[in-house]
Amino acid sequence: MKKIFLLPLLLLMLFFVKPSSAQRFLGGISVGANFCQVDGDQFYGFRKVGINFGPMAILPFGKQKQWSVSMELLYSQKGSYHAGSTDSTYYRLNLDYIDIPVMVHFTDKEIISAGAGVCYGQLIGKKESTLYVVTPQSDFLPYDLSILGEVSLRLWNRLWINVRYQYSMVNLRTVTFKDPYNPSDTWDRKQYNNLLSMRLTYIFNQPLRNKPRKPKGDEE
C-alpha cells in the first residue's frame, strides 16, 4: 500500500522543483467539497457532504499551450447519508479515499477550461451506521476506479473555481436488502460512488492572463 502513494508523491515533488524551459510544469492546490451518494443503497440525492483537497501538477502542451495534462493527489471523503423519517430508514456511510486523478484539459482564452480523465482511489477508511435491513455479500473493494469530467472558470489571477463529476467504473460491493415487512422478499444491489465536487484551485506559477490591447485610436 505504501508503494501506491510513493510514486505520486515523488512525481509531484519532481514537478514542483526546477521546471525546465521546454516543458514547464505548473503546481497548484485545490480545496472544496464533495456532494455524494452511493448508487445501490436504496436512497437517492447528493446528501452526504465531504471534503476534497490536495496538491496537483499540470503540464501544458501544444503550440498555444491550450492543452494540458494534470495529476492530483487528493484526500476525498465519499459515501451516503439519509436521515430517514423513522429509525429503520436512517443510514450513514463514510468512505475515505486517497484519489489520484489523471486528466486532459482544454483551456479557451485563458478563462474557461474543460477536462476529462480517470481516477484511481485507495480506500483508507470506512464507517457504516444503519438500522436498515441490509446484508453485505462482501466487504468494500479496497480501491475504486472512476471516470470524471470537470469545467473550470478563472476567477482572479491564478485562482480558479471548478465543478467536477465523478462516477465509479467498478462495483464497490454487492448487498442484499430485505423487506422489513416481508422478510422472505430479498433483492441484491451493486453499489457505486457517485459525486459532484465544487472546488477552488490556486495555480502557483501559472502565467497571468494576457489582457487584449486597446486599438491605438482608443488610447488617449
Domain limits, the chain: 25-59+81-96+104-208
Q: What percent of the chain has pLDDT over 90?
A: 58
Mean pLDDT of 110-138: 87
pLDDT at 21: 43
Going through 62-90 in order, the beta strands assigned E by DSSP cover 67-72, 74-82
Whole-angstrom Cα distance, residue 58 to residue 152? 14
Whole-angstrom Cα distance, residue 131 to residue 98? 28
How many beta carbons lie within 10 A of that of residue 56, not counting itself?
21
Triad 168, 172, 178: Cα angle to 5°: 125
More confident residue, 136 or 118: 118
Length of the chain: 220
Cell 463529476 found at: 165
More confident residue, 76 or 209: 76
C-alpha separations of 28 from 77, 92, 115, 172, 173 in Å: 20, 33, 16, 30, 34
Pick the closest to residue 93 from 12, 185, 180, 194 (CA basis): 194
Q: Which of the following CATH numbers is that of domain 25-59+81-96+104-208: 1.10.357, 1.10.3470, 2.40.160, 2.60.40?
A: 2.40.160
**φ, ψ dihedrals at 213, nearest 5°:** -80, 145
DSSP H helical ranges for the chain = 2-16
Strands 26-39 and 143-156: unpaired
- pLDDT tens, residue by residue, 198-209: 999 999 988 887
Mean pLDDT of 183-190: 84
pTM for this model (two decimals): 0.83
Mean pLDDT of 167-191: 86
Q: What percent of the chain has pLDDT over 70?
A: 80
* Residue 194, amino acid: N
Q: How confident is the model at residue 212 (pLDDT cuts 50, 70, 90)?
A: low
Largest CA distance in the chain: 84
Cell 494534470 found at: 70
pLDDT at 131: 60
Whether the pLDDT of residue 70 is over 50: the answer is yes
pLDDT at 207: 84
Whether the pLDDT of residue 19 is over 50: the answer is no
Whether the pLDDT of residue 109 is over 60: the answer is yes
| DSSP annotation of 82 | E
